[in-house]
């Protein structure tokens, strides 16, 4: 499994996730209850970046049509999201957040 550097831990805040593009994929990194989570960033419904949406209580709301996803699980909590989000494994090494692009179920 190859780990890729994403950002420094200081670049991710509870209300301000970090958006990046890694190997052609848009990825959002979130902080919830002291843990980091990485999710696909393009909303499955249409084209909107979820990291530009509203984040509260471990959930992110799509800025375009207001689908809501659970950040820890990627689960779609409110339509029209269409499906759950892919999650990527995350680890922190020396304050550097790393992910691997193998999606978790």
Q: Is the alpha carbon torsion for 47, 98, 58, 55 positive or negative?
A: negative
- Neighbouring-strand partners of residue 4: 99
Q: Contact with ligand FES (CB under 6 A): which of 45, 49, 86, 101?
A: 45
CB of 3 to ligand FES, least distance (A): 29
Pick between residue 7 and residue 49 the one whose CB is nearest to ligand FES. 49
CB of 14 to ligand FES, least distance (A): 21
- CA dist 46 and 80 (Å) reads 9
Asked whether position 89 contacts ligand FES by CB under 6 A, the answer is no
Pick between residue 28 and residue 81 the one whose CB is nearest to ligand FES. 81
Interface pattern 49-68 for ligand FES (x via CB under 6 A):
-------------x-xx-x-
**CA distances for 84 relative to 46, 72, 74, 80, 98, angstroms:** 14, 11, 6, 11, 22
- CA dist 85 and 103 (Å) reads 10
Q: Which residues bind ligand FES (CB under 6 A)?
A: 43, 45-46, 48, 62, 64-65, 67, 80-81
């Amino acid at each position: 499994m190859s780990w890729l550097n994403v950002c420094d831990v200081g670049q991710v805040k509870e209300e301000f996730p970090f958006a990046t593009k890694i190997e052609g994929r848009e990825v959002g990194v979130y902080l919830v209850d002291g843990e980091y989570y990485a999710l696909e960033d393009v909303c499955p419904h249409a084209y909107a970046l979820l990291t530009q949406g509203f984040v509260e209580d471990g959930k992110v709301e799509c800025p375009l049509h207001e689908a809501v996803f659970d950040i820890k699980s990627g689960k779609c909590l409110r339509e029209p999201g269409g499906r759950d989000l892919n999650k990527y494994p995350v680890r922190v090494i020396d304050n550097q957040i790393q992910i691997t692009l193998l999606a978790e179920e």
